[in-house]
């Protein structure tokens, strides 16, 4: 049998096959494995932003209701095993190795018999289904990898389909407009299966409504303002909101909730919480016994590392996986709302296939100091190229600085310009940020989940 490290080598070695959207390979692979995805109650979650947080909230509420819950997400932050969890616990190294070995043998059989060559994500998805089947979970909260219609997770028939806010991302695969991307995301909508959607841009919502209607699905929509609730709408009203979390009231077609509490920050998390409650209400409507107190308890206990996560004080340290323009704008709003008076040291690393120009235009003006670095990923934009792009965009507003003079810059900081450092190595970038920060400042790490996962590991060791 494979060892844990051999299992990871096999899985990651499949990335040479790239991303191939389509259901042929995964269908064939799962058929040979006995279709482990069948017979599991699945909440299927697609969208561009907020998928992970919404999945975590649904998972936490269901666990608070006493159910055994599987959670499948991607990518991981620190260890691969995070991608498959049962009741909050990562899959063990031993189970991952054992199930990978089983899937590897099936992949070899498929190749030898010219039945297809599954990609990394398809193989990981198959391993996940085997694990959740073995664990006999009551529910599986299943996050789409990319898109929806042709994503490997879309072999399932869920009990609820959930769509979080849609924005531009992965245009090379999903299309150049919100309408195109929404159409791909809506591929998870199955005939007669209830649909819950978070707030959407009008063109995306139009697609969701049209496809839901055409497939005979009830559609519940979150609207991010307090109203008299018409049928199939959910609204919320913030009560308190600070850097420690939020309290809010929520109305659904079935219930009213007062003083719901979440420890996550950023107003967009209220959209995600409302969407998660909408999914739970849809489950209750089809006969699943979930008490209201499980919603209160689940939301209060939810954690989702790497998304506007505060890891330190004096100086404050915040990491955020924002990696597209919608996510960066949420980060920007959060910084201006909670930390407007703090000097902001932004450590940023971005993948080259992202819309990095728009990301930089949005976030750079918020910073007082920028440290350009690079995620440890083959698709990473180099720190040198990133800093050159920032200089081209902002001209004399951004002043290049030498990392060797970091302490001098800290002492002499007084003008209105943005100082920029360039450091390819993430560990060194962290050290530079720490050397520049006074106790009352805030250090922000953002731009890529791959980068902040590495940063999170480093910071926990310091």
What distance, in Å, lies between the first and last C-alpha atoms of the chain?
Answer: 36
Contact present, 416 and 318 (Cβ < 8 Å) = no
C-alpha 113/C-alpha 45 separation (Å) is 34
CA distances from 357 to 243, 336, 351 (A): 29, 21, 11
C-alpha 452/C-alpha 349 separation (Å) is 9
Helical H segments across 314-354, by residue range: 325-338
Q: Specify the DSSP class assigned to residue 308.
A: S
CA distances from 20 to 95, 215, 260, 343 (A): 27, 27, 41, 44
Contact present, 43 and 159 (Cβ < 8 Å) = yes
Contact present, 374 and 383 (Cβ < 8 Å) = yes
**Residues paired with 241 in a beta bridge:** 246
The pLDDT assigned to 411 comes to: 43
Q: Specify the DSSP class assigned to residue 222.
A: E
C-alpha 55/C-alpha 88 separation (Å) is 12
Domain 309-461: CATH architecture, name and number where available: Alpha-Beta Complex (3.90)
CA distances from 61 to 36, 67, 84, 99, 313 (A): 25, 9, 18, 28, 29
Give the residue among 136, 107, 141 at the shortest CA–CA distance from 30: 107
Contact present, 323 and 449 (Cβ < 8 Å) = yes
CA distances from 24 to 29, 30, 184, 231, 236 (A): 9, 10, 17, 39, 41
Contact present, 136 and 122 (Cβ < 8 Å) = no
Tokens found for residue 35: 């279709």
C-alpha 287/C-alpha 162 separation (Å) is 18
C-alpha 146/C-alpha 124 separation (Å) is 14
**Which residue bears the tokens 């930089």?**
360
Q: Which fold has domain 4-301?
A: 3.40.1190
Sorted by where each begins, the domain ranges of the chain are 4-301, 309-461
Cis-peptide into 75, omega within 30 deg: yes
- With H, G, I as helix, E, B as strand and everything else as coil, classify residue 152: helix
* Contacts of 436 by beta carbon, 8 Å cutoff, 6+ apart: 345, 369, 406, 409, 410
**Which residue bears the tokens 């995964």?**
26
C-alpha 297/C-alpha 168 separation (Å) is 34
C-alpha 248/C-alpha 257 separation (Å) is 8
C-alpha 288/C-alpha 294 separation (Å) is 13
Rounded average pLDDT per 10-residue block, the chain, 462 residues: 94 75 92 98 95 96 98 93 98 98 97 93 97 98 91 97 84 71 94 96 94 96 67 88 91 93 91 96 95 97 90 91 84 91 95 86 93 89 93 88 59 67 94 94 92 89 72
Contact present, 123 and 11 (Cβ < 8 Å) = yes
The pLDDT assigned to 172 comes to: 54
Contact present, 142 and 44 (Cβ < 8 Å) = yes
Contact present, 131 and 91 (Cβ < 8 Å) = yes
Tokens found for residue 104: 């590897």
Cis-peptide into 315, omega within 30 deg: yes
The pLDDT assigned to 267 comes to: 86
Within 10 angstroms of residue 1's Cβ, the number of other Cβ atoms is 10
Tokens found for residue 462: 């310091």
Identify the helix (H) or strand (E) that includes residue 247: strand 245-251
Predicted TM-score of the model (pTM): 0.90
């Amino acid at each position: 049998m494979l060892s844990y490290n051999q299992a990871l080598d096999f899985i990651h070695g499949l990335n040479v096959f790239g991303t191939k959207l389509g259901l042929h390979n995964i269908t064939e692979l799962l058929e040979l494995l006995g279709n482990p995805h069948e017979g599991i109650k699945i909440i299927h979650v697609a969208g561009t932003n907020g998928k992970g947080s919404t999945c975590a909230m649904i998972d936490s509420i269901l666990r608070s209701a006493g159910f055994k819950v599987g959670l499948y997400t991607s990518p991981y932050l620190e260890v691969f095993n995070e991608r498959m969890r049962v009741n909050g616990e990562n899959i063990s190294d031993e189970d991952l190795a054992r199930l990978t070995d089983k899937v590897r043998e099936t992949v070899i059989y498929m190749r030898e018999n010219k039945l297809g060559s599954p990609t990394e994500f398809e193989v990981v998805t198959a391993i996940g289904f085997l694990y959740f089947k073995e664990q006999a979970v009551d529910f599986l909260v299943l996050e789409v990898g990319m898109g929806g219609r042709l994503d490997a997770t879309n072999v399932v028939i869920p009990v609820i389909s959930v769509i979080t806010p849609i924005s531009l991302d992965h245009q090379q695969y999903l299309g150049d407009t919100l309408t195109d991307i929404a159409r791909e995301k809506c591929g998870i909508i199955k005939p007669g299966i209830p649909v819950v959607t978070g707030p959407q841009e009008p063109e995306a919502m139009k697609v969701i409504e049209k496809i839901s209607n055409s497939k005979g699905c009830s559609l519940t929509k979150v609207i991010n303002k307090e109203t008299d609730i018409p049928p199939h709408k959910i609204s919320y009203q913030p009560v308190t909101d600070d850097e420690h979390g939020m309290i809010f009231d929520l109305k659904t077609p079935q219930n009213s909730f007062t003083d719901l509490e979440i420890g996550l920050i950023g107003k967009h998390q209220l959209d995600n919480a409302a969407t998660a409650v909408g999914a739970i209400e849809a489950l209750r409507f089809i006969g699943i016994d979930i008490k209201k107190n499980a919603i209160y308890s689940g939301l209060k206990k939810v954690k989702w590392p790497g998304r506007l996560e505060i890891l330190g004080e004096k100086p404050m340290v915040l990491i955020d996986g924002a990696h597209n323009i919608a996510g960066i704008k949420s980060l920007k709003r959060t910084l201006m709302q909670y930390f407007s008076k703090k000097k902001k040291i932004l450590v940023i690393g971005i993948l080259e296939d992202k819309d990095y120009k728009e990301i930089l235009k949005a976030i750079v003006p918020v910073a007082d100091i920028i440290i350009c670095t690079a995620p440890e990923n083959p698709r990473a934009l180099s720190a040198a190229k990133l800093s050159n792009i920032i200089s081209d965009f902002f001209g004399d507003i951004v002043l290049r600085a030498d990392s060797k003079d970091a302490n001098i810059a800290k002492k002499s900081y007084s003008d209105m310009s943005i100082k920029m450092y360039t450091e390819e190595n993430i560990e060194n970038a962290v050290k530079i940020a720490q050397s520049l920060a006074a106790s009352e400042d805030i250090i922000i790490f953002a731009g890529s989940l791959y980068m902040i996962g590495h940063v999170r590991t480093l910071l926990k060791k310091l």
